[in-house]
Amino acid sequence: MFASLFTFLSILHITSRVIADSPAIAKGVTFWSSHLRNLPDPGLEEFVKTAHANNVKACISIGGWTGFLYFSTAVGSAENRTAFVKTMLDFAHTYEIDCIDLDWEYPNRIGCNTINANDTINFILFLEELRAHPTCNNYTLSAAVSLAPFNDAEGNPSTDLSRLGNALDHIVIMNYDVWGPWSDRVGPNTPLFDSCAPPPYQQGSGEWAVEQWTKAGIPLEKIVLGVVELAAYPPFNKTDRPNGDKWDDPAGNDTCGNFNPPGGTFTFRGLILEGYLYEDGLPKIPYRFDVCSKTAYVYNSEKHIEISYDDAMGFGLKGHYISEKGLAGFSVWQAQGDYNDILLDAIHEGAGLK
């Protein structure tokens, strides 16, 4: 496993804020941050400098939910692909970046992006051109992906993505937001397993995603499991969504122009600061651990809020699964959501890294 530090970029402009003083950097964990604008920016230089000072790779992640709106166009023609490759590599060279992550979660699928039936093959052609460039050997290439493999031209999950695997050093499966404020029932936000659940609750899990991507041709040793230090409020009433913690997204129009109510999410840190958990991460209010999904819940009976989240036990079990399956490692969204490194320590220990 290698240690890396990530900041997000969109295709059209920077959308990342560099957090350079997190204790997570010293631990050498994958670290995601958000919102920088207008290059050149000294914040990005500080980001790279701080990462390198701690023997951590400095990486850029291009796209994300608010940044892949025009990915389809950027890879949609040979001319655009070549221009995109040049722009990306010039940027990486200028800022001494070590690795490049492409976060286009839904090729040829509904998301905050335009859609083309040839999205997946165009993305693969782009990655192959990027990988074949003479200077690309200097960089680690990865792609952040959803639970199911990318759609083929017919709109179904692809059955052969071996070319994608050959072009990348690894993929990062984002095993979170499986259930959340948009769901019609309470369910685990970050399930490790779901085959043990009743059929209505089998909406995908870490184990299921790893199986689907390996069947599609991605080797286990190229798969990174994405974990999250966020908690989601799965509502009993979707039309009355409460606010999450102070880091929650406010109500308003998203990048796609759609109005959304408050995000209804809490960081693990937020659960502690809001009084749901003690400072050691143990629950202050009614709690249960779901032995099927390996995730935790707390319930505020006064506000009728039940929150799905990962505690130290859940993170430790995810670490054990990563080690047992022989995966490439884990990626955290996002490390500043931790509190006194409770979760990071747990997943390191579970994976046998301590």
Domain boundaries, the chain: 4-228+310-350
Q: What is 4-228+310-350's CATH number, 3.30.530.20, 3.50.50.60, 3.20.20.80, 3.40.50.2300? A: 3.20.20.80
Q: Which long-range contacts (CB under 8 A, 24 or more apart) does 200-203 make?
A: 203/178, 203/179
- Lowest-pLDDT range, 55-59, 62-66, 152-156, 160-164? 62-66
Q: How far apart are CA 224 and CA 210, in angstroms?
A: 9
pLDDT in tens, 283-294: 999 999 999 999
pLDDT surpassing 60 at residue 67: no
Q: What is the pLDDT of residues 235-244, one digit of tens each?
A: 555 555 667 6
Per the model's pLDDT, the better-predicted residue between 240 and 153 turns out to be 153
Q: Are 226 and 172 in contact (CB under 8 A)?
A: yes
Span 244-274, pLDDT tens digits: 666 666 666 766 677 766 666 788 999 999 8
Question: What pLDDT, on a 0 to 100 scale, did the predictor assign at position 61?
Answer: 86
> If you average pLDDT over residues 305-323, what whole number do you get?
94
* Residue 301 reports pLDDT greater than 60: yes
In this model, does residue 26 exceed pLDDT 50?
no
Q: What pLDDT shows up at residue 34?
A: 34
Residue that is written with structure tokens 């937020």 in the block? 270
Helix (H, G, I), strand (E, B) or coil at 6: strand
Rounded CA separation 103/119 (Å): 14
46: left (phi over 0), alpha (psi -120 to 50) or beta: alpha
Least trusted range by pLDDT, from 78-82, 151-155, 262-266: 262-266
Is the pLDDT reported for residue 51 higher than 70? yes
DSSP 327-354: --EEEEE-GGGSSTTHHHHHHHHHTT--
Q: Given pLDDT bands bounded at 50, 70 and 90, which one contains residue 177? A: confident
Q: What is the pTM of this model?
A: 0.85
Does position 175 have pLDDT exceeding 50, yes or no?
A: yes
Q: What are phi and psi of 163, to 5 degrees?
A: -65, -35
* Amino acid 79: pLDDT: 94
pLDDT tens, residue by residue, 185-240 = 788 999 999 999 999 889 999 999 999 999 999 999 999 999 987 766 555 555 55
Task: Say if residue 338's pLDDT is above 50.
Answer: yes
Mean residue pLDDT across the chain: 83
What Rg value do the Cα atoms of the chain yield, rounded? Answer: 20
Average confidence (pLDDT) over 76-84? 94
Residue 150 — very low, low, confident or very high, per pLDDT cuts 50/70/90? Answer: very high
**pLDDT for residue 74 is more than 50:** yes
Q: For 85-99, write each residue's pLDDT tens digit.
A: 999 899 899 999 999
